[in-house]
Chains A and B, each alone.
Chain A
Amino acid sequence: MRQFIQGIAENSHYQATHLLHILRQIQSHYHYIPEAAIEQLSGLLNIPRTQIISVVEFYSFFHLAPRGQYELLISDSITDHMLGKKDMLDYLTKTLGVAVGELRDDGLVSLDNTSCTGMCDQGPAGLVNGYALTRLDRSSIDKIAELINQQKPLNEWPIELFQVDDNIYKSGLLLNQQIEQGAALRSTFKRGIKETLKEIDNSGLRGRGGAGFKTAIKWQFCSEEQQTERYVVCNADEGEPGTFKDRVLLNSYADQVLEGMAVCATIIGAKQGFLYLRGEYLHLHDKLQSVLDRRRQNGLLGSNILGSGLDFDIEICLGAGAYICGEESALIESLEGKAGIPRNRPPYPVTQGYLGKPTVVNNVETFLAAASIAINGGDWFANIGTEKSKGTKILSISGDCARPGTYEYPFGVTVQTILNGCGAVDVQGIQVGGPSGVFISNQEFDRKLAFEDLATGGSFIIFNSSRNILDAVHNFTHFFAHESCGFCTPCRVGTSLLKKQIDKIVEGHGSAGDVVALEELCQLVKSYSHCGLGQTAANPILTTLERYPDLYQSRLKEISFEPGFDLDGALETARRMANRYDTGAHLSQTESEHE
């Protein structure tokens, strides 16, 4: 082991900023992070062991205790559930002989749930040793179980198990034309750097991650900073459940995304860029690496790009299972090899980002659009869309519709148009923008997708009338509690309290005051949390409570109060100790249960 660890540390030049990369290799080799590895790394990287442990314990894909040689993770997005996850998982546990959250006795396979893996249009999905599995069903599970029991290496597994489709059903301004390699950079050099920033400004392009900050202003702020060492970061930590369009862009439009990063680097004066790829998209890593290599060979990356005298290169950094790293300052912490805990702001990343240097962080789609704008000019983009939301938006559509997949629509498109386009009928409601967004009812289909009405990072999950909306709320609320980084009190404790409270109501233990208490708690978490995660964690409850108050009320018992815990369950230890299991040794939860 010593030699192995020494080797990977050396390959990372003993840089603590590469800690995630190093730990990924150790986890993949040993299927956990052994204590001895932590000790050795602490010496090699010259960082305290506590720093390594805190990183291991922060990311879902690292473990201090052994996992199986085949680590199976099953996506827990609501869309996976809608596609029959529960039955599939039951069958999987039976076939493999391992329970969820456990390691099989022979150490060969472990099974667990994981947050949305971004395969919502082709679920139920999962990961095996980090590689995406799609469309899991009984026949593929039989195959997987056999392969595992035969201990077949992953590269000998049939490729159809790993088949990931783009499913692009509607292209617009951006997806219609693949730009010619280097065209955006050539246009930028020809037009001039300042002039190109002007075009991006004219285009009205706003950040596509959801927050909608004007891209040109961000780039300009960064370029005006005193420190000359600056960075470009592409946020490909697409973790919002129901979103997968960045996966499609990186699979089929990678050149254009990387070129957008290079245009940004030219404008802000950065020499180094990072593509922060969520760990769930490991399957894209080698392909992206080869695109980078090709671009280097073609003089589009590296030193003296296209003979311009400018140097810029891009490194891919993989995440390790943490939704919070989609928040830009948490992402930067993660890039630095730390736990993804959002920073205090100000200072903002444009002034103090990666290693304290000015940094632009933008979404995959933003860079894609910027590259096209650099070629076609600002007006080309601004002529489409609405007044405050220029251009198009690429959507990830999933849930109850005939054609789940990727769609590009001009901003300002109505919800009804989108529903017609993807073949959705009998729609009850839609989760727009993912769990952190808003749930809209079927009374709101004339609303428009735009920053001035329904803002979205791209997630669009459709629920037909057969669905129970509270199932979705339950799933989303558990998701946020699982993904809270735990830094601040309102989110760390609040998301867990929300989970307890929604469970109580959904399971039918709620009483009159519980919905009021729930709403009060929602406001507290929303108003006082440190970052966007906590500030939006209550949205699934708040937006459905506003639209379907009766849904919540109908789950309540007609008593004034019910304890938040299981009275009878709490007596179990006492019963065991007294060896008493008669009726007298049981307590009913409420008076009404006596009848």
Chain B
Amino acid sequence: MSKTITLDGKIIPFEDGQTIMDAAMAAGVYIPHLCHQPEFTPHGSCKLCTVKVNGRNCSACTFPAMDGQDVLSETEELINDRKKITQMLFVEGNHLCPGCEKTGNCQLQAVAYHLNMLDNHFPLFYPNREVDASHADVMIDQSRCILCTLCVRASQQKDGKDVFAVSGRGINKHLIVNAQSGLLKDTDLEATDHAAHICPTGAILIKRTGYRVPIGERIYDHKEIDQVSLETEHVKHGE
């Protein structure tokens, strides 16, 4: 008999080594997340995927599924708190959706819509963050970085490089690149690298491709993030 967990009252199977997130996605259940992509080592930092496991809060993307676990995800409390965590990510940086090229393709924005986020709730930080447009084909706008480290992991685990890292402590944490000058142009990043395309927000953008896909025809313009996530991320995971 295969092992199972109960997720919001529904019994779903899992295999040894799977996290709660893995099991949920395989069963077609979306748990909101931003720092997680099934292809990379889970990070567990954004905390959007927090679920209650036997009464205790755990990150679904890192916590192993174990036989008989009682997992709650879509409770009013968790949905509400996920919204607040998303609001924290918004106020921490400078996220001005209408002026951002990523709008409609942005996971942060899509998660916010999914969680019915209608305002920032918290006071804005208005941090002074820099743009690095030195690279011929790729640019970084630190204002939009949510420190998910997906670019760090993609560069290491997929591209076999080490272009990005997160440095600093606390609220001063920030993305750095691997060049003596500190500039993207002096790294070995290429526009074809996986790391250049993985950013869930508009912090890393490919130059000269802006608005090629018109607003209205973008990923999340017609589908919600739960549907997109289950269609795209779960397939990849099975590979």
Contact = CB atoms under 8 A, between A and B. Distances in A.
Interface in A307-348: 322, 339, 344, 346
A493 interface: yes
Interface stretch (B21-29, B84-92, B196-204): B84-92
Contacts of B164: 50
B103 interface: no
Contacts of A495: 170-171
B119 to A, nearest CB: 13
B177 A489 contact: no
Interface in B31-70: 42, 44-48, 50, 57, 59, 62, 64
Contact of A489 (B47, B57, B166, B172): B47
A84 interface: no
B99 interface: no
A481 B170 contact: yes
B168 to A, nearest CB: 5
A57 B45 contact: no
B176 A344 contact: no
Interface residues of B, number: 38
B129 to A, nearest CB: 15
Given A57-B168, A482-B170, A488-B45, A50 B81 contact: no
B150 interface: no
Given A54-B176, A346-B64, A564-B123, A489 B169 contact: no
B178 A49 contact: yes
Contact of B167 (A54, A490, A527, A565): A54
In this complex, the member of B89, B165, B167 whose beta carbon has the largest number of chain A beta carbons within 10 angstroms is B167
A354 interface: no
B169 A485 contact: yes
Nearest to A321: B169
Contacts of A485: 169-170
Nearest to A570: B126
Contacts of B92: 489, 492-493, 496
A58 B42 contact: no
Interface in B142-166: 146-147, 162, 164-166
Contact of B81 (A486, A500, A528, A564): A528
A50 B162 contact: yes
Contact of A493 (B42, B48, B91, B168): B91
Interface string A465-503: 000000000000000011111111110111111001000
B156 to A, nearest CB: 10
B37 to A, nearest CB: 16
A51 interface: yes
Nearest to B149: A487
B85 A486 contact: no
A529 B81 CA distance: 12
A53 B176 contact: yes
Nearest to A524: B84
Interface in B167-195: 167-173, 176-178, 180
B125 interface: yes
Given A489-B47, A528-B81, A53 B180 contact: no
Contacts of A493: 88-89, 91-92, 122, 171
Contacts of A530: 44-45, 47, 59
A58 B47 contact: no
Contacts of B44: 344, 488, 530
Contacts of A488: 44-47
B171 A492 contact: yes
Given A39-B180, A49-B178, A489 B165 contact: no
Which of B92, B169, B173 has its CB near the most chain A CB atoms (within 10 A)? Answer: B169
Contact of A527 (B46, B48, B81): B81
Contacts of A490: 47, 85, 88
Contacts of B173: 486, 492
Given A486-B173, A490-B88, A497-B88, A528 B47 contact: yes
Contacts of A53: 165, 167, 176
A495 B123 CA distance: 13
Contacts of A529: 47
A58 B57 contact: no
Contact of B180 (A35, A492, A524, A528): A35
Nearest to A483: B170
A483 B171 CA distance: 10
Interface in A72-108: none
Given A50-B178, A53-B176, A524-B81, A486 B88 contact: no
A490 B122 CA distance: 13
Nearest to A486: B173
A50 B57 contact: no
Contacts of B162: 48, 50
Contacts of A54: 165-168, 176
Interface string A558-573: 0000001100000000
A49 B180 contact: yes
Contact of A57 (B81, B147, B167, B171): B167
A569 to B, nearest CB: 13
Nearest to A565: B123
A489 B50 contact: no
Contacts of B123: 497, 500, 564-565
Given A48-B178, A565-B123, A489 B168 contact: no
B89 A489 contact: yes
A477 to B, nearest CB: 13
Contacts of B64: 346
Nearest to A480: B170
B134 to A, nearest CB: 16
B41 to A, nearest CB: 10
A50 B165 contact: yes
Contacts of B57: 527-528
A435 B104 CA distance: 43
Contact of B169 (A48, A50, A322, A521): A322
A213 to B, nearest CB: 16
Contacts of A50: 162, 164-165, 167, 176-178
B194 to A, nearest CB: 18
Interface of A: 35, 39, 48-51, 53-54, 57-59, 322, 339, 344, 346, 481-490, 492-497, 500, 521, 524, 527-530, 564-565
7 contacts: A48-B178, A49-B178, A58-B169, A495-B170, A496-B92, A524-B81, A527-B81
